[in-house]
A = this chain, B = another copy of it.
Amino acid sequence: MNERGRQTKVYLEIVKKIKEIIDENQLKPGGKLPSERELAEQLKVGRSSVREALRALELLGLIETRRGEGTFIADFRNHRLVEILSGFILTNEHAKKDVSETKQLIELAAIHLLIDQKKTIVDSYDFNQKKDRSRCFQKMFEQTDNYLLLKIWRILANFESSLNVNYHVGKERYIRLIQAINEGNREEADDLYRSIFTSFDHR
Contacts and interface: CB of A to CB of B under 8 A. Distances in A.
Interface of A: 11-12, 15, 19, 22-23, 48, 51-53, 55-60, 62, 76-77, 79, 81, 84-85, 87-92, 94-95, 97-99, 101-102, 105-106, 108-110, 112-113, 146-149, 151-152, 155
Contacts of A110: 105
A154 B52 CA distance: 27
Oligomeric state, in copies: 2
B76 A95 contact: yes
A88 B62 contact: yes
Contacts of A76: 85, 88-89, 91-92, 95
B51 A98 contact: no
A12 B56 CA distance: 10
Contacts of A19: 87-88
A53 B51 CA distance: 10
A148 B98 contact: yes
Contacts of A95: 76-77, 79, 147-148
B98 A147 contact: yes
Given A23-B91, A59-B15, A76-B95, A155 B109 contact: no
A60 B59 contact: yes
Contacts of A99: 148
A19 B89 CA distance: 10
Contacts of A147: 92, 94-95, 98
26 contacts: A15-B59, A22-B91, A48-B48, A52-B52, A55-B55, A55-B56, A60-B84, A76-B88, A76-B92, A76-B95, A77-B98, A81-B85, A81-B155, A85-B151, A89-B148, A94-B147, A98-B147, A98-B148, A101-B113, A101-B146, A102-B146, A105-B106, A105-B110, A105-B113, A106-B106, A152-B152
B48 A102 contact: no
Nearest to A59: B56
A106 B81 CA distance: 17
